[in-house]
Amino acid sequence: MITELISVGTEILLGNIVNTNSAYLSEKCALLGLSVYYQDVVGDNEGRMRDVIRTALDRSDVVILTGGLGPTEDDITKEVTADLMGMPLKEDSHSRKLIDKYLKEYEKNNSQRRITKNNYKQAMVPEGAIVLDNHNGTAPGLILEKKGKTAILLPGPPNELKPMFEEYVVPYLQKNQPEIIVSQMVKISGIGESQVAEEIQDLIESQTNPTIAPYAKTGEVHLRVTASAENEKACRKLIKPVVKELKKRFGENVFATDESKTLEEAVIDLLKEKDLKLSLAESLTGGMIAQRIVNVSGASEVFGYGFVTYSNKAKHKCLGVKKRTLKEQGAVSAKCAREMAKGACKASGADISISVTGLAGPGGGTKETPVGTVFIGCCYKGKAIAKEFHFTGNRMRIREQTTAHALAMLRDCIIMGR
């Protein structure tokens, strides 16, 4: 089915808010096998909104609209869509009761709040529409069907839209699809997007069903394997040999085949499996690696120490980096990275440590050591190594790339035992 997304709101056009809803819905629609051919953003203007929705209904089978379902005068998505589809509005008693209950709880939490009559505008629904209860707000969602066309109206706030879409819209769309779509992610670290693309070029050129779609992420490459079939079991059967082939080609660089699993989770799992204690020594990243590590539940079982040694004095005092190294080689050097990693292990008693030092810019670079030069060190059971990297982008981008590559290098060192 040809599907179109329309985001309603002048605040989106002005850049006051980031339109994350379209990205979410596009991905979900793709997984459901829907063909999203168009995306539109329109402000809270009746004439322009009418033109956009009319065009969408003419050229698409399913139109998903987000925003403009609230109680204020400029919330007119429902009114315009219902009028275009010839479905007059009437009050839905069930929706009014839910709105009333929600507002009374809202009022109870703050004595200065009061319920205003315009809230009940949200209980007016197109006659014959499927009403979707909103468990996280006041505006119900709606599904309007007329002459082979479907308009799905969802509230704008993501914390209302997402659960409503998952609970009601996904089953509705699946019911109207002859086939289902199932995907599995293969996550790779330690090698770049261009190398991954080259390695799977033959698979991409010959693919029919399933298909492989690469996605580049900072320090990682994700390959989404997607199959369509009459049921999930048949989809999984098609996906299995492709995932097996990808794991064969990329070996230890594959750190997950579960979409929800992160690189830091894979690292923590390895540390636990091998009963290793981790410490970190960070300079330019200033704790960003530690932040990703402690985002993982249970990280405290393997991670005990993190050193942020930004100055040369701190590197010497806390990690034992030699003054001679700092003077002759400089803080941004392989030798400094190795000594930082060794010092972190010694100071913490850890089995393995990762260190990072480099130039994130925008100033401070030289012809010999330009901005983006980074050294990542690893000490594993007394043996220290360091690798040189050259990243591009602004200060934050360089720090993010350093963090991602440090985690990948940590995983590699654990696996290789070095």
Give pLDDT tens digits for 38-60.
Answer: 999 999 999 999 999 999 999 99
**Which residue type sits at 245?**
E
| pLDDT (tens digit per residue) in 83-116 | 999 999 999 999 999 988 888 776 766 666 666 7
3-state SS assignment for residue 361: coil
- For a pLDDT cut of 90, what percent of the chain falls above it? 85
- Give the mean pLDDT of the chain: 94
Predicted local distance difference test score (pLDDT) of residue 308: 98
pLDDT at 116: 72
Reported confidence tier of residue 119, pLDDT bands at 50, 70, 90? confident
What is the structure's pLDDT at 175?
86
* Paired tokens of 285: 């990243």
Q: Before 155, cis peptide (omega within 30)? A: no
- pLDDT score at 238: 97
More confident position, 373 or 381: 373
> Can you give the pLDDT at residue 174?
86
Whole-angstrom Cα distance, residue 271 to residue 409?
13
pTM of the complete model beyond 0.95: no
C-alpha–C-alpha distance, residues 236 and 228, integer Å: 9
Q: How confident is the model at residue 180 (pLDDT cuts 50, 70, 90)?
A: confident
Q: How is domain 180-256 classified at the architecture level of CATH?
A: 2-Layer Sandwich (3.30)
The pLDDT value recorded for residue 263 is 97
**Residue 77: band (very low, low, confident or very high) from pLDDT cuts 50, 70, 90:** very high
Q: Are 144 and 150 in contact (CB under 8 A)?
A: yes
Whether pLDDT at 7 is above 90:
yes
Q: How far apart are CA 398 and CA 331, in angstroms?
A: 17
Task: Give domain 2-175's CATH number out of 3.30.300.20, 3.30.70.3270, 1.10.10.10, 3.40.980.10.
Answer: 3.40.980.10
Q: How confident is the model at residue 31 (pLDDT cuts 50, 70, 90)?
A: confident
Q: Where are the domains of the chain?
A: 2-175, 180-256, 263-416
User: Residue 295 carries which DSSP code?
Assistant: T
pLDDT exceeds 70 at position 227: yes
Q: What is the mean pLDDT of residues 326-331?
A: 96
Structure confidence at residue 231 (pLDDT): 86
CATH: 3.30.930.10, 1.10.10.10, 3.40.50.720, 3.90.950.20. Which one for 263-416? 3.90.950.20
Kindly state the DSSP code that residue 61 receives in the 8-state scheme.
Answer: S
| CB-count burial class (<10 Å; 0-12, 13-18, 19+) for 236 | middle
Under 8 Å CB-to-CB from 24, ≥6 apart: which residues?
158, 161, 162
Write the DSSP assignment of 171-183 as a string of letters: HHHHHT-SSEEEE
